[in-house]
Amino acid sequence: MFIMSTLLIKTAFCLYNIGWVVAIPALRLNKRLAEGFGQRTLRERLPEADLWIQAASVGEAFLAEELLHNIKTDKPVRVLVTSNTSQGIEILKRAISEITPNNNNLTVFAAYFPFDKPAIMAQAVRNISPKIMVLLESEIWPAHLSSLKKYGCKILIINGRITSKSLSRYLFWPSLWNTLKPDKILAISKKDAERFATLFGKDRVDVMPNIKFDRIDSMELTPAFKNPLESIIPLETPFLVLGSVRHEEEHLIEKIIADILSRHPGTVIGLFPRHMHRIKHWKDILSRLDIPWILRSQTKHLVSQGTVILWDTFGELSLAYKISRAAFVGGSLAPLGGQNFLEAIIYGVVPVIGPSWENFAWIGSEIMEKGFVRIAADWKEVVSILTEDLKKPKASDKVCEEANRYLKGRQGGTAIACRLIHEFLNNSKK
């Protein structure tokens, strides 16, 4: 039975490898994947590192930044942090420039995560020679885990989350994942821990506070500098933020924009697509709807009322929340699980979200009960709530103070994660 299972797994990996051989030339044509293609395919060699951290995209990159700021070591440690996206790489490089001068024992590199083709991943692991692999949240790739196991690298999942839907897919072949199980998993909730335990075994799973709560310290209430967005959006202007809008809900966001501007024609709307490649789509849609719009990158002076600012630059969503009267956070009108709404709350605006927010169930329903977030059943209710907020916005400073008090009481995940990493590094024999 064991021999048959082993042969089946080997056959599956051979077929998986062939699939990647076929797919990679086509992936080269994808604009997002074309960036860093040399690193993704190992045409550019990745550096050696004691600790390898994988931060899939923007959210995980911010988690990696928290870890890098807080990892303390009494001996030199080389760290490689990888990401799948250009936005993630941008965050990591900025973090490295801030961290490296202040921590002489850390040498940190950023690179794109290699494609999970078994042959590529085996070579990547040999090149990097990691002692410890840290996977943030839910980044699980079979060839990656298999190569790390064969090399003898310890594998940690930190800030781990796994949905019921994902678990059901993994359980299609539980024996495969049993051979690839990590050495330790710190999950962000009891339910996530139970799901990880079902897949990998209860003995290696614990619960930790979500590291995202620790990022509150870097999002303090009032910036010491003047908000640069005030030069294009006067404070007396009713400003609405539509943040992290996803492709699948765009047709509903169109209706929200049109309805809001018909009720409040003086509103300026900041539209933040979750993915930058959707900018062109929004240019076409807003033009078709005959709604005035301007790209953020081309905005140099005060914006006229009734205009949509199409945000094609990265890193200003928090600044926009800070001066907004109302905000909607996307990924929630379609069944996508929601996007992070904590940032809006921290900066003093009580956001509206749609009915889909299960990706952030770890925060707990108490945050809704306290009135820090409002859930709308559909796009019409979103409009209704936003309309009231534009007329009578809540006091920003009070929201900031109460929300920060609530959220800071749930901090501590970064310290727990760093202690675990330190322990594994010290016990490593490689």
DSSP string, 322-375: HH-SEEEESS-SSSS-----HHHHHTT---EE-S--GGGGGG-THHHHTTSSEE
Mean pLDDT of 107-134: 97
Domains 2-209+412-427 and 220-408 are alike in CATH topology:
yes
User: Model-level pTM greater than 0.75?
Assistant: no
| Residues present in the chain in total | 430
Would the pLDDT of 406 be above 90?
A: no
Q: How far apart are CA 306 and CA 265, in angstroms?
A: 5
Q: Is the CB of residue 77 less than 8 Å from the CB of residue 50?
A: yes
| Largest CA-CA distance found in the chain, in angstroms, rounded | 72
Q: Which residue has the higher pLDDT, 160 or 401?
A: 160
E strand spans, 168-291: 184-187, 205-207, 239-245, 268-273
Q: Which CATH superfamily is domain 220-408 in?
A: Glycogen Phosphorylase B; (3.40.50.2000)
Q: Which residue has the higher pLDDT, 226 or 371?
A: 371
Q: Is the CB of residue 257 less than 8 Å from the CB of residue 288?
A: no
Would you give the DSSP letter of residue 308?
A: E
Would you give the DSSP letter of residue 300?
A: -
Mean pLDDT of 186-201: 94
| Confidence (pLDDT) at 7 | 84
Q: How confident is the model at residue 221 (pLDDT cuts 50, 70, 90)?
A: very low
Question: How confident is the model over 311-367, as pLDDT tens digits?
Answer: 999 889 999 999 999 999 999 999 999 998 988 988 889 999 999 998 887 777 778
Closest CA to 167 of 199, 142, 194: 199
Question: How confident is the model over 27-37, as pLDDT tens digits?
Answer: 999 988 999 99
Host H or E run for residue 167: helix 164-170
Q: How far apart are CA 279 and CA 87, in angstroms?
A: 15
Mean pLDDT of 374-383: 97
What is the chain's mean pLDDT, rounded? Answer: 91
Would the pLDDT of 299 be above 90?
A: yes
In Å, what is the CA distance from 16 to each residue of 108, 181, 220, 346?
Answer: 32, 19, 46, 44
Q: How far apart are CA 288 and CA 311, in angstroms?
A: 18
Would you give the DSSP letter of residue 429?
A: -
Q: How confident is the model at residue 224 (pLDDT cuts 50, 70, 90)?
A: very low
Would the pLDDT of 58 be above 50?
A: yes
Architecture of the domain whose range is 2-209+412-427: 3-Layer(aba) Sandwich (3.40)
Domain ranges within the chain, ordered by starting residue? 2-209+412-427, 220-408
| Confidence (pLDDT) at 66 | 94
Mean pLDDT of 279-287: 97
Closest CA to 243 of 309, 315, 312, 329: 329
Q: How far apart are CA 287 and CA 39, in angstroms?
A: 38
Q: Which residue has the higher pLDDT, 216 or 254?
A: 254
Strand 352-353 and strand 106-112: pairing? unpaired
Q: How far apart are CA 40 and CA 318, in angstroms?
A: 31
Mean pLDDT of 77-86: 96
> Picking from 95-109, 195-209, 305-319, which range would have the lowest pLDDT averaged per residue?
95-109
Question: How confident is the model over 236-260, as pLDDT tens digits?
Answer: 899 999 999 999 999 999 999 999 9
Would the pLDDT of 223 be above 50?
A: no
Q: How far apart are CA 348 and CA 51, in angstroms?
A: 37
Sequential DSSP letters for 101-164: GG-TTEEEEEEEPPP--HHHHHHHHHHH--SEEEEETT---HHHHHHHHHHT-EEEEEEE---H
